[in-house]
Amino acid sequence: MPNKSVYKAAILFFALLLMLVYPAMFFPRAEYSCKGEGVLDELAREMQDIERLKRRIREEQNREKKIVLSFAGDCTIGADDRFRYENSFHHRLAVEGNDFSYFFRGVLPVLEKDDMTLVNLESTFTNSKCPIPKKYNYRGDPSYTAILKAGSVEMVNISNNHIYDYGMQGYMDTLTALQRAGILFCGEKNIAFYTTKGITVGCIGYTGWDWNVHKDLERDIHYAREKAHIVVVSIHWGTDRANYPSSHQIKLGRFCIDNGADVVVGHHPHVIQGIEKYKDRYIVYSLGNFCYGGSKNPSDKDTFIFQNIFTVRDGRIIESNGEVIPCSISSVSHINDYQPTILRGKEAERVMSRVYRYSSALEFGINEKSLPSFLTLRK
C-alpha cells in the first residue's frame, strides 16, 4: 500500500500540471496588476489629501484671528420672593407676554456679534421654597435660562454671594438648568472652556473677599493656561457702592495677570469702577449691574459692556485691545424695566467720563488716548 509521501507527491504533480495548463486560474496577472495599481493610487490620493489638510491647519493656525469677548456685570434673572409683585422682574416678564427675548433686546446688536459673552449670574434658577436666612434671596424659574440664551450669553460666573440663596438644592437646580440650556458656567471649582474660531477660551470664577484665595487662583490660572489660548478670570469682590477699587482688589487683580490671566473682570459693588491696563492686560474692577432684578429702581443705573479684542496668531495673543460700550441697566430712567440698553450721545459721553475719572486714580488706569471712547471708535 503506497505510503503518505507517494500521495503527497502525486497531489503536487497534478497541481503543477494544472498550473501549467490553466495559469489564469492561479495567476490572474492583468487583473491583479490593475487592482494593485488601483489600491496604490487610492493610497497616494489619500496621502495627498492628508498633506493638504495639514497645510490648511498650519495656514489656519498662522492666520491672525480676532477674538471678541464681551463682559457685563450682575445679572439677577429673577427677584426676591418678598418683593411686591408690581414692577418686579416677574411682573415685567408677564407684561411683555412672557417674551424671554425682551430683556437683552437693547444690547443684542452687540452681544450677538461677538465671539463669547460672559456675565455674572447674581441669582439662582430654582423652584425651591426654602431660602437660607439672609437679607436678599434671589431666584428665577429654571425656564428663565431662555432669557440668557435669547441674549446671546454663552457663559456665566456663578461664584458670588447669591448662588447659595436657596441652599445646596438651589445651587444644584441652577447648574442643572444651565446645563440643559447649553450655557457654560465657571466658578465654585468649575473651570469652563469655550472654543471659537479654533481658539479656546478658559474661564475661572472666584469670590475674592480676601487674599487667602490667591494660591487657589494661581493653581487654576496655571491649569487653564495649559489648555487655553486665552485665560479669563471673573471675580466677585469689592465694596458695595464704591466707585474705586480697594487696595486688596488691585493687589489680587494684578496677581492674576502676573500668573498668566489675559483679562480680569470684576463685579459685586453694583456700581462701575475704573479700568487699568497692567502689563498689556486689562483689569476691569467693577462692571456694575446689568440685567438686574435685584432692585426696582436703583439710583445709579449706569453700566457698560467691556469688550476685549484679542488678536491671536499661531495660537498666541499678539495684541489685546479694549472697548467700553456705555449702557444703562434700564431703557427708561424713572424705573428699572430690566432691559439694559446701549447709550448714545451725551449720555454715553457722561458714562465714559465717569469710567475715565475712576480710572485716572489707578497707576495703570486707561484714558482717552490708551482706550478711545466707544463714540470715537464707532464713528
Which band of pLDDT confidence, cut at 50, 70 and 90, is reported for residue 47?
confident
Closest C-alpha to 81, from 142, 158, 165, 175: 165
pLDDT at 38 over 80: no
Give one DSSP letter per residue of 89-147, joined into a string. Answer: HHHHHHHTTT-GGGTTTTTHHHHTTSSEEEEEE-SEE-------SSS--EEE-GGGHHH
Give the pairing of strands 116-121 and 65-76: parallel
Given a contact cutoff of 8 angstroms between Cβ atoms, the answer to whether 293 and 78 are in contact is: yes
The CATH code for residues 65-377 is: 3.60.21.10
pLDDT of residue 1: 45
Quick one: what percent of the chain has pLDDT higher than 70?
A: 86
Domain residue limits, the chain: 4-59, 65-377
Q: What is the pLDDT of residues 176-231, one digit of tens each?
A: 999 999 999 999 999 999 999 999 999 999 999 999 999 999 999 999 999 999 99
Q: What is the pTM of this model?
A: 0.85
User: 234: which strand partners?
Assistant: 205, 265
Q: Which residue has the higher pLDDT, 59 or 199?
A: 199
pLDDT of residue 41: 77
Q: What is the pLDDT of residues 262-287, one digit of tens each?
A: 999 999 999 999 999 999 999 999 99
The type of residue at 199 is I
Average pLDDT over residues 13-40: 54
Average pLDDT over residues 226-245: 98
Given a contact cutoff of 8 angstroms between Cβ atoms, the answer to whether 116 and 148 are in contact is: no
